[in-house]
A and B are shown apart, each in its own frame.
Chain A
Amino acid sequence: MTIEWQQYAAPGFYDELIGDATGPRPAARALCEYLASLSDEELRERKTAAELAILVMGITFTVYTEGGSIDRAWPFDIVPRIIPKREWDRAEAGLKQRVQALNLFIDDLYHEQKIIGDGVVPAEVLAQSVNFRPQCIGANPRHGVWAHICGSDLVRDNDGTLYVLEDNLRVPSGVSYMLENRVVTKRVFPELFEHQRIQPVDDYTLRLYDMLASLSPRPGDHPTVVVLTPGIYNSAYFEHSYLAQQMGVELVEGNDLEVGDDDSVYMRTIEGLERVDVIYRRIDDLFMDPEVFHPDSALGVPGLMRAWRKGKVALANAPGAGVADDKVVYAFVPDIIKYYLDQDPLIPNVPSYLCMREQDRKYVLANLDKLVVKPANESGGYGMLVGPHATSADRKRFAKLIQSDPRNYMAQPTLALSTSPTLCDECMEPRHVDLRPFILSGPTTYVTTGGLTRVALRKGSLVVNSSQGGGSKDTWIVDTEGF
Chain B
Amino acid sequence: MLSRVAQNIYWMARYVERAEDTARIINVNTNLLLDLPRNMTFGWLPLIFIVGAEKLFFEKDPNRLADENAVVKFLIGDSENPGSIISSLASARENLRTTRDTVPQEAWEQINGLYIYARDHVPTRRGRFEFLRRVIHGAQQINGMLAGSMSRTAAYDFVWLGRFLERADMTTRILDVRSANLLSRTDQTATLKQTQEQSGQTQVAAVEREEQNPFESIQWMSVLKSLSAYQMYRQQVRLRVGGPDVLKFLLQDESFPRAVSFCLKQLEICLRELPKNAAPLATIDALKQRLNAAEVPKLADAGLHEFIDQFQVGLGELHDRIAATYFMH
A residues neighboring B (CB under 8 Å): 56-58, 231-232, 241-242, 244-245, 250-253, 255-256, 267-273
Q: A58-B109, A270-B154, A270-B274 are in contact. Are A255 and B4 (CB under 8 A)?
A: yes
Is B97 at the interface (CB under 8 A from chain A)? yes
Cβ contact of B2, chosen from A57, A232, A241, A256, cutoff 8 A:
A256
Contact yes or no, B101 A269, CB < 8 A: no
Contact yes or no, B329 A268, CB < 8 A: yes
Q: Which of A58, A231, A242, A244 has the most CB of B within 10 A?
A: A58
Q: Which of B1, B3, B154 has the most CB of A within 10 A?
A: B3
Chain A residues within an 8 Å CB radius of B154 = 270
Chain A residues within an 8 Å CB radius of B97 = 232
Contact yes or no, B101 A270, CB < 8 A: no
Contact yes or no, A253 B4, CB < 8 A: yes
Cβ contact of A268, chosen from B2, B108, B275, B276, cutoff 8 A:
B2
Contact yes or no, A270 B3, CB < 8 A: yes
Cβ contact of B6, chosen from A56, A242, A245, A270, cutoff 8 A:
A270
Instruction: Name the residue of chain A whose CB is nearest to the CB of B100.
Output: A241
**From residue A60, how far is it (CB to closest CB) to chain B in Å?**
10
Chain A residues within an 8 Å CB radius of B329 = 268, 272-273
Contact yes or no, B108 A250, CB < 8 A: no
**From residue B252, how far is it (CB to closest CB) to chain A in Å?**
31
Give 30 pairs: A residue, B residue, CB < 8 Å, sorted on A.
Answer: A56-B109, A58-B105, A231-B98, A232-B97, A232-B98, A241-B100, A241-B101, A242-B101, A245-B101, A251-B101, A252-B2, A253-B4, A255-B4, A256-B3, A256-B4, A267-B2, A268-B2, A268-B3, A268-B4, A268-B329, A270-B1, A270-B2, A270-B3, A270-B154, A270-B275, A271-B1, A271-B275, A271-B276, A272-B275, A272-B329
Is B326 at the interface (CB under 8 A from chain A)? yes
Chain B residues within an 8 Å CB radius of A253 = 4
CA distance A271 to B326 in the complex (A): 7
Cβ contact of B326, chosen from A56, A250, A270, A273, cutoff 8 A:
A270
Instruction: Name the residue of chain B whose CB is nearest to the CB of A248.
Output: B101
Q: A241-B101, A272-B329 are in contact. Are A250 and B2 (CB under 8 A)?
A: yes
**How big is the B interface, by class?**
10 to 19
Instruction: Name the residue of chain B whose CB is nearest to the CB of A226.
Output: B2
**From residue B91, how far is it (CB to closest CB) to chain A in Å?**
14
CA distance A427 to B98 in the complex (A): 40
Cβ contact of B1, chosen from A56, A58, A244, A269, cutoff 8 A:
A269
Chain A residues within an 8 Å CB radius of B3 = 256, 268-270
Chain A residues within an 8 Å CB radius of B276 = 271-272
**From residue B276, how far is it (CB to closest CB) to chain A in Å?**
7
The total of interchain contacts (Cβ-Cβ below 8 angstroms) comes to 45
CB-contacts of B1-59 with A (<8 A): 1-6
Chain A residues within an 8 Å CB radius of B108 = 58
Chain B residues within an 8 Å CB radius of A267 = 2
Top 8 nearest A-B pairs (CB, nearest first) are A245-B101, A270-B326, A268-B3, A241-B101, A271-B275, A270-B6, A244-B101, A268-B329
Contact yes or no, A57 B105, CB < 8 A: yes
Instruction: Name the residue of chain B whose CB is nearest to the CB of A270.
Output: B326
Chain B residues within an 8 Å CB radius of A56 = 109
CA distance A231 to B4 in the complex (A): 12
Chain B residues within an 8 Å CB radius of A250 = 2, 5
Chain A residues within an 8 Å CB radius of B98 = 231-232
CB-contacts of B203-241 with A (<8 A): none
Q: Which of B2, B6, B98, B105 has the most CB of A within 10 A?
A: B2
Chain B residues within an 8 Å CB radius of A241 = 100-101
CA distance A116 to B43 in the complex (A): 83
CB-contacts of B271-324 with A (<8 A): 274-276
CA distance A5 to B327 in the complex (A): 61
Chain A residues within an 8 Å CB radius of B275 = 270-272
CB-contacts of B187-216 with A (<8 A): none
Chain A residues within an 8 Å CB radius of B326 = 270
Instruction: Name the residue of chain B whose CB is nearest to the CB of A266.
Output: B329
B95-124: CB near A (< 8 Å → 1, else 0) gives: 001101100010011000000000000000
Chain A residues within an 8 Å CB radius of B274 = 270
Chain B residues within an 8 Å CB radius of A256 = 2-4
B247-285: CB near A (< 8 Å → 1, else 0) gives: 000000000000000000000000000111000000000
**From residue B93, how far is it (CB to closest CB) to chain A in Å?**
11
Instruction: Name the residue of chain A whose CB is nearest to the CB of B275.
Output: A271
CA distance A154 to B280 in the complex (A): 57
Q: Which of A231, A267, A271 has the most CB of B within 10 A?
A: A271
**From residue A252, how far is it (CB to closest CB) to chain B in Å?**
6
**From residue B113, how far is it (CB to closest CB) to chain A in Å?**
11
Instruction: Name the residue of chain A whose CB is nearest to the CB of B98.
Output: A232
CA distance A273 to B1 in the complex (A): 10
Chain A residues within an 8 Å CB radius of B2 = 250, 252, 256, 267-270
CA distance A59 to B108 in the complex (A): 13
CA distance A250 to B4 in the complex (A): 11
**From residue A202, how far is it (CB to closest CB) to chain B in Å?**
18
**From residue A334, how far is it (CB to closest CB) to chain B in Å?**
41
**From residue B103, how far is it (CB to closest CB) to chain A in Å?**
10
CA distance A253 to B326 in the complex (A): 17
CB-contacts of B145-176 with A (<8 A): 154
Instruction: Name the residue of chain A whose CB is nearest to the CB of B108.
Output: A58
Q: Which of A56, A242, A250 has the most CB of B within 10 A?
A: A250
Chain B residues within an 8 Å CB radius of A232 = 97-98
**From residue B119, how far is it (CB to closest CB) to chain A in Å?**
14
Chain A residues within an 8 Å CB radius of B5 = 250
Instruction: Name the residue of chain B whose CB is nearest to the CB of A273.
Output: B329
Chain A residues within an 8 Å CB radius of B1 = 269-271
Instruction: Name the residue of chain B whose CB is nearest to the CB of A257.
Output: B2
CA distance A271 to B5 in the complex (A): 13
Q: Which of A255, A269, A270, A271 has the most CB of B within 10 A?
A: A270
Instruction: Name the residue of chain A whose CB is nearest to the CB of B325.
Output: A270
Chain B residues within an 8 Å CB radius of A270 = 1-3, 6, 154, 274-275, 326
Instruction: Name the residue of chain B whose CB is nearest to the CB of A241.
Output: B101
**From residue A471, how far is it (CB to closest CB) to chain B in Å?**
22
